Amino acid sequence: MERVCLQAADFLVAPSHYIVKETERHFVILHKNVAVIPNPYEPQAPQPEKSYQQKTEIVFYGKLTVQKGALALLAYFNDLWEAGFAETLVMIGGQDIVYHPEGVTMGDFIRNKYQRYIDRGLLKLEDRIAPNKINSRLSKAKVVIIPSANDNLPYVVFEMMGMGNVVLVSKQGGHAEVVQHGVDGFIFDHFTEGDLELLLKNVLASTNDQ
């Protein structure tokens, strides 16, 4: 049905170039009437500037799903922790989505698999938060990681950048199109071994001026 709808459309609109390319990998688009119009976003009033050294948390913020890169991120951190990395990862977002290969929710799957890190205080899981609490809750983040495995244009990137947070995002999504690597955020590639680890450690070693 999706293939028929795409072929019948006179015009296709997408919020990112990434999703257009991904669509073309799976469907033959018979015309060139395709436009990329990013979703609108109006940032909230800026918060008082806070010293980077006063920020204490490495945060994943989003739904705990495979598509959002939750399991890939945990695999990276598993390797980091086993190598002696002592920083805590805080995962904030809905945990009730079912992980069908195991027949349990993502929250339960992660708790069962990574309980040893939870017990050591290296992994913390928090449920979704109300929109009006985002700024106050995320104000302590020294870096927010958006590790999507395949994504269109998640608003969380706009929200975090609008707050002035440092973002470390995956190349696998339209969000990479709104981040200038090394200028207003950092982009890692899931297909480049060690890329996230290298960039994360660089971010954590940064000074306020940097």
The Cα–Cα gap between 142 and 131 comes to: 20
Residue 33 confidence (pLDDT) above 80 = yes
> What is the C-alpha end-to-end distance of the chain, expressed in Å?
50
Q: What percent of the chain has pLDDT over 70?
A: 93
User: What sign for the dihedral angle of Cα 170, 83, 60, 98?
Assistant: positive
Residue carrying structure tokens 């190598």: 83
pLDDT exceeds 70 at position 2: no
The string of pLDDT tens digits covering residues 84-121 is 999 999 999 999 999 999 999 999 999 999 999 999 99
Q: Is the pLDDT of residue 13 over 80?
A: yes
Q: Which range has highest mean pLDDT (3-12, 41-50, 85-94, 131-140)? A: 85-94
Torsion of CA 168, 71, 100, 94, to 10 degrees: -50
Q: CB–CB of 58/140 below 8 Å?
A: no
> Rounded to two decimals, what is the model's pTM?
0.86
Kindly tell me if the per-residue pLDDT of 151 is higher than 70: yes
Note the pLDDT tens digit of each residue in 71-81: 999 999 999 99
